[in-house]
Amino acid sequence: MRHMLDITDWSIEEINGLMDTADDIIAHPEDYAHAMERKKLATLFYEPSTRTRLSFEAAMIELGGHVLGFSEASSSSASKGESVSDTVRTVGCYADIIAMRHPKEGAPTVAAQVSPVPIINAGDGGHNHPTQTLADLLTIRREKGRLNRLVVGMCGDLQFGRTVHSLMNAMSRYPEISFVLISPEELRIPGYLRENMRKMDVPFMEVEKLEDVIGSLDILYMTRVQRERFFNEADYVRLKDSYILDPEKMALASAELTVLHPLPRVNEISHSVDKDPRACYFKQVLYGKYMREALILKLLEAKA
């Protein structure tokens, strides 16, 4: 049985196929309106979420299916001490597919080992967020017309940013991709990811000032400094305003720049940037729904 746990478990050809399906859903939504009729998606969200949870629910509803689940651990039997494995085995009796978000790295993988239905990792701790990566890839392909020959800037919390880790692992497999990693010393990418880039011979550079490099970028992927990942409040307060994208910085960028953000934002992108045609983060939100529709279709087709 197929799951979506890590973006690298899926080949580039499979990911491109998902994007092709998403493009077709965008063009012909009526053809998919009953595709998941009498099917149920369970959303097991042990962490707060707005976009990811609601986009999964909207995706299943638009495919003609139904949704059940919980939006916080306190409203489930996890508050009584029930294990992830037992919850998944139980919910798998009621649903055809499960999307799970959990604060502990690897929890969806544990779930997949016992689940009677496909598991989708909707974010596990600071580790991975493959369906956000699918949204990111579709946005880039539709905005740029390609997923190769790109200089991709990652800015902000690169240590704990699971969306950054997933997107770097995915884009590293496309030709002629290079990364510019913009962060404070304390929030640089984890060592394992740096080593992966070197093994794959993917060019990257690490810098601290966004202004020095923004003019060279095709993609700028902004991220927030995540309060929930810090053990020390003082460290969070010291680093939270490290990068703020504003019109002055945008004036230094190429007219062809595409600005992405997995959201939610705090103040790392000024609201005055929203009207700039290069700001594509709300398109990203919409494309995420279509990619999740494509993924649900693929996983349940594979299960059948």
The alpha carbon of residue 239 and the mean position of all alpha carbons in its chain are separated, in whole angstroms, by 23
Measured at the CA of 203, the angle between CA 239 and CA 244, to 5 degrees, comes to 25
> Which segments within the chain are labelled E, that is strand?
40-45, 66-70, 97-102, 119-124, 150-155, 177-182, 204-207, 219-222, 258-260
Antiparallel, parallel or unpaired: β 119-124 and 219-222: unpaired
User: Distance between CA 41 and CA 68 in Å, rounded?
Assistant: 6
Residue 33 to residues 29, 64, 118, Cα–Cα distance (Å): 6, 5, 21
Kindly report the backbone phi and psi dihedral angles of residue 235, in degrees, each rounded to the nearest multiple of 5, phi listed first. Answer: -65, -40
Can the peptide bond before residue 264 be classed as cis, meaning omega within 30 degrees of 0?
A: yes
Rounded Cα–Cα distance for residues 5 and 113 (Å): 11
Give the integer Cα–Cα distance in Å for 116 and 222: 37
Q: Residue with structure tokens 């990792």?
A: 121
What is the set of active-site residues? 51-52, 80, 101, 129
CA neighbor of 47 nearest in space, from 119, 117, 105, 114: 105
- Between CA 192 and CA 79 the distance in angstroms is 34
